[in-house]
Each structure stands twice: as structure tokens, then as C-alpha cells.
Amino acid sequence: MASAAEIDDEQQHFDRAAEAREHAKSAAGDAANAAAHAAAAAQLAKYANQHQDALGATGSAVAHGRIDEAGEDPLYIGKHLIRDHRRQEILVIGWQAPAAQRYYRATHADPRGLTRKRTFHCTGNTIDDFTDVVFTAAAPDRPQGPDGALLRALAEGRTGSMRDIVATIQAAQYEVIEAPLDTVLVIEGGPGTGKTAVALHRVSWLLVNHPDQLRTSGVLVVGPHPTFTRYISTVLPGLGERDVVQRDITQLGPPVSRGRPESVPLSRIKGQARMAGLLARALQQRLGRPEPAERLQIDGRFVTLPGADIGAVVAELRDGPGPYAQRRTQLRAVLTGLLERRGVTAVPARQRSVDNLLERLWPQLSPPALLRDLLGSRDRLRAAAGDEFTAAEIAQLRRRGADRLSEQIWSRDDLPLLDEADFLINGSPAERYGHVVVDEAQDLSPMQLRSIARRSATGSLTVLGDLAQSTGPWARDSWDDVTAHLPGTHPRTIAQLRYGYRVPRQVYEFAALLLPIAAPLTAPTEVVRDGPRPGIHRVEAADRAGRAVAIAQAHVAERRFVGIICPPTCRPDVEAALAANDVAWSSADRGELGNAINLVSPQESKGLEFDAVVVVEPEDIVAGDEHGHRMLYVAFTRTVGHLDVVCVGEPLPMHVAALAPAGGEPPAPTVPSLGPDALARLAGEVAERVRRQSPSDQWDEVLREAAKLLRD
């Protein structure tokens, strides 16, 4: 522990920086209040608020670190730049500044010119203690374990919101954060490697280091569901970035009423990229053909327009560039011109006649109207399907639409189709961004990825995920299946986060036993911290829900943030047990995350973290999803501390029983033949795993044993 005298010396600097911060915030507010005109005052007030946010909250720590270099003044590092208003001396530099890079990247093997790195531990802006890393001669063989600041942060209790990791960014994470802007960057990592936190800090770093490209065009962050979006919503504002737009995947596209259920096979069809072609053809087929002679009645007389001339214009516009609505406007202008050349000058009457003809040749359509009419008509579906859809698929897509468009209820899988239709009709979205971040991308359908791609104005994206956690209708084993549907403007890079900081080793080793079934080609995460062993609680069916709730209550008594992760088969009983025990709880399916007990489905748990997790009936989780072992792996790894498994069946089901027919054995899996590209990719993945997990002098032996096992 640091001495009281040393802490007092550092506190003086912190107090001086805090005073300077408050002066700067006050000066920004005074400038806004002094404006003479209302418009100028509003603009200055907006600037003042942004500037005050960028300086940090009153009472918060001004810095979290310091770096020392021989012969130089120390540099203090915090979330925000702070200057002394009297001397214009820099008291604290922002963590995104180039000068702060060494704080995060210095190691004993490469200290980058530093003699010391100091990390402060504070309550508000009061220093409680600090820890030092003193760099001596290079020591390349020195192990790289987690530092004390990281372990201290991981030991702190969780809440319903994600925290920033500015003070504990590790060297490997910082390297990913500062990757070039002009790229499609895939950040891949197992549970607890910090993918989401790294991506959010990358957004802040990019905004500071590429202001010309991003401050005007903006940044969009897309999450998998509303609960996740709410969970991460405070990180960027805490870093001074309040203008970053955060959406969940269901908020892209036209606003409509949602809630229609969808079967898994139909969800799979609707998510395929060929649906884009179906919609494009359906839109083209709404165009009409002119009569040989179009007779328009205008102010009591008839004006005849040659159908051949109109047909030629329609044909040219049909195959022309631009969205449907824009080409419709062009056709209107042509029809108006044809009438003007025939001396028709009565504007209201002329426009009515043009509108009537236009509606017949090129009807005005909204995205919901196009999709409802398409899915509601077997004939329209057949005509638009061409050779790309079977009769059975057309029958699955067909559904009766609501009598009124305003009463139509749409499914989650309809939303990207509506967005695609909006793009075809109206063109690119009004809101496009200089950079887009998408989390849990491994589970998104091609149509969802297309929706995200069109919101990137530059092709610059950060894509997050873990193939071992890929579940649902679009579970994947390769990032090629994801990046194929994203812009190809910039190079694509995969950055792997190998070190797991959140999940304790004992919990991860238990969960990783599922990997040979869940994701056999995935290398396990290298976990850096210890914790308690998982608790296994075998019970009778009648006691299962009550035991799960009792365990959750015991964790809450220790002031832990708890997630009960249970499959739909067990949820009614767990809800009843919570009510019977008069327990307050929050439900993730309503977008809630309370600070005590939270009831979460396995699907909703992705990306979340809790101090303690209670997993109910693993066998039901496995049986409830085509990729059930991956789903269970996700559930087990949501904790930063404690894992309890409450079950009647096996706590670690290793049999492949997902989606088995009732009363029967699961069907034997069918493995398709691999093409040359897939074969090469699989061979590369196998080679990479062998390279990582065995010494080079044993590679031949490992491969011989593997070949023997495959033949057997």
C-alpha cells in the first residue's frame, strides 16, 4: 500500500485538476448565457453541454493513471483532457490521446521508454491507494498476468449497466481499439474477453482521433436486443460521447407494430439474401402497361397520348438507376411534359389526370404495403419467386394480411424485409453513419446484415462476436458467412482477443467441457483469474424452482447482481416461486435489468454479465435449441464470480439431444460434402488449433492420432 505522504502528494495534483475542471465547465456555461440572440444562445448551450460532458462529471476522479519517463515530468491520464486555466498547463491528458498510448501498451518486455506506470484507486476524486508497475531491464520471459487494477475492478459488484474499462484496458485490447478506421474489423473472442467494452472504447478513440470524418457523419452502435442496448447505454456518455446513436437490430427500418410469432423454418427462409431479389422483382411487377392510346379527360375534352411513347418511357425507367419513388417522380414529369406539348395548361385538371394515369402505371407504394400485398398473394409470390424458391417455400411465405395496413402485426424476421423494401422504394436511409459497430453479429441473418451495411456511409465497420456462441437459425462456423454481406469498400481484418478477464477459471473450465460438441474448432479462451467452483444442485422436479430462487436470494443477501437463466419450460415455475416468496425481480424480456434478481432466457443473456448466475435445467436448454450446447455455454459464462446449476437432469449434458423427436432418438447428423474453399478453411482451422495447443515436435503425432480417431 502507498504511504500517506505519497498519497497526499498525488491528491494535491488531483485537487488542482478538479478545480481546473470545474472552472472550465463554469466558463462554458457562462459563455452560453452571455449570448445576445436566442439562436446563438441555443447553439452555445449545446456546445457548452458537450464541452462539460467531455470534461467529466463533478466529483469523479480526474485521472486513473500516471506514466513516468526518465528526465520528464509525469503524465496523468484520465477520461478527459484538463488544463490549468491560469497557466494553460496540461494537468491530465485524455486516454485516447497518442501520448497516453504507452500507459496501455508498455510491458516488462517492452516498457516503451517508461520507468513506471501508476494506477490510482479512488472514491470519487479522493485517492484511496495506488499501485505501481516499475519497469527495469527488458524481461521477455516474464509472464503477463492481470495487473492489480484489473483484478480490483473485476472484484467490484455489477449493476444493471456496463461500466467503462478506461483504467484497466490491457495491451492486447488497446491494440484492437486503435485499429485503423478504414477497415471492416471483426473482433472475435470468447466469453469475458471484453469484446463489447473494447468496441465501445474504440468508438470513443475513433471520435477523438478522426474528428473530421466522424463528428459530422456520426457513429451507430447496433445491439442484438433491447435489454443489451440498455445495458451498454451508459458507457459512451460516461466517456463524454453523448451523440453516438445506439439501436437494437429491431429498430432499423420503418416503425411498425411488432409481435407476430415465426416458426424457425420460416425465419430461416426470410433471413436469406435471396429475399432481396424476391422483393426487387415483386416491386417491378407492380408496374402497369399503358393502353395503345391513353385518352385523358381534362376540362371536358379528351387528350390522347400514344401508348407506345409512354411504354418506352416506362421501360427505360423500369431498368434505370435510382429508387422506385424517384423514378416514379421522373415518369410524372414526362407525362406532364407530353400534355404540355399538346397545349394542356389547366394545371389542377392536368395534374389529376396525370396522377390517375401514374397510379395505374407506377403505383405509389409504402414498404408495409408492398410486403403485405406480396405475402398475402400466392400469385404475386409465384411471379416474384422465379426459379429461386420452391413451391413449398412459397407456401410457407404465404399468409393472410390484415384488412387494414395499420392493423398489420409484423414478426422480427419481417423487419429487415421492410427495411429492404424501404431501400428499394425510397433509397438509402436518411440516417447513415461514418462508422457502424454491430455486436453479436455471428447470429444475424444475411437480410439483417444488409440492413446494417446500408447504414454505413463509408464501409467502415466494427463487427463483434464469438463463433462458439453462435446460435439460432443463423448459427455460423466461419466469419466469411458474415462479412460476405457487409460492404467490401475496405479490407477485412479479424482481431482475436485471447485472454478472458471476466469469467473465473473454475467456471470457464466447467463450461469449456461443452466445446467439443458446441464448437469443436474453437480454441478455448486463456482465463487469467480464479474464483469459486460452480455449485451443482440436483433436486426433485417439485423443488427445482424453489431452490433456484433460494440460491438467488442468498446471493442478493451478499449484495450480488444476480441472473436466473432458465429455459421456457421452467419459467412459469420460477416466476411462481418468486411470487410465492415475495421476491422483487426484473424481466429481461421487458427490457429490464434491476440491481438484484433478473429472470433471463438463454437467448437474452448474450452479452450480459452478473455477479452470480443461477442456471436452471441445462438439459432443457440444450433440447430447446438446434445449437443447444452453444446456448448452454453462453448461459454458464455470464458470471464474473459465482455459478450455480439447479437441475433434475444432468448438469453438464454431453449427449446430442437437441430437437430430438418426442419419444425417439435424435436423427443422425448429415454432413455435406465440402467444396475446395470450405475444405481449405476447415484444414486451416484444424492446423491453427493444433499449432496453438501442442508443441511443434508433436504435431505429426497429434495428426496421426486424429486421423486414427476419424477412421474409427
Q: Of 464, 523, 508, which is closest to residue 195 (Cα–Cα)?
A: 464
Alpha helices in 399-543 (DSSP H): 415-426, 446-453, 480-483, 505-512, 515-518
Contact (CB, 8 A) for 649 and 617:
yes
If one counts every other C-beta atom within 10 angstroms of the C-beta of residue 519, the result is: 23
> Is 192 known as a binding-site position?
yes
Q: For residue 456, what is the DSSP state?
A: B
Residues 640/631, Cβ–Cβ less than 8 Å: no
Collapsing DSSP to helix, strand or coil, 88 comes out as coil
**Residue 191 annotated as lining a ligand binding site:** yes
> How far is residue 679's CA from residue 672's CA, in Å, rounded to a whole number?
11
Give phi and psi for 700, each to the nearest 5: -60, -40
- On whether 190 is known to bind a ligand per the annotation, the reply is yes
Nearest by Cα to 703 from 688, 684, 690, 685: 690
What is the SS3 assignment for 283?
helix
CB 618 within 8 A of CB 653: yes
CA-wise closest residue to 646 among 635, 656, 654: 635
| 349 contacts: CB under 8 Å, gap ≥ 6 | 298, 299
196 marked as binding residue: yes
Q: Are 286 and 401 in contact (CB under 8 A)?
A: no
Helices within 84-216 (DSSP H only)? 101-105, 148-155, 171-177, 195-209, 211-214
Q: Is 195 annotated as a binding residue?
A: yes
How far is CA 355 from each of CA 261, 308, 363, rounded to the nearest angstrom?
A: 39, 19, 10
Single-letter amino acid, residue 209? N
How far apart CA 281 and CA 277 sit, in angstroms, is 6
Query: Whose grid coordinates read 440436483?
Result: 538
Is 189 assigned a ligand-binding role in the annotation? yes
Q: 533 with 645: CB under 8 angstroms? A: no
Please give the grid coordinates belonging to residue 671: 454432413
Strand partners, 204: none
Binding-site positions for ATP: 189-196
Residues at the binding site are 189-196
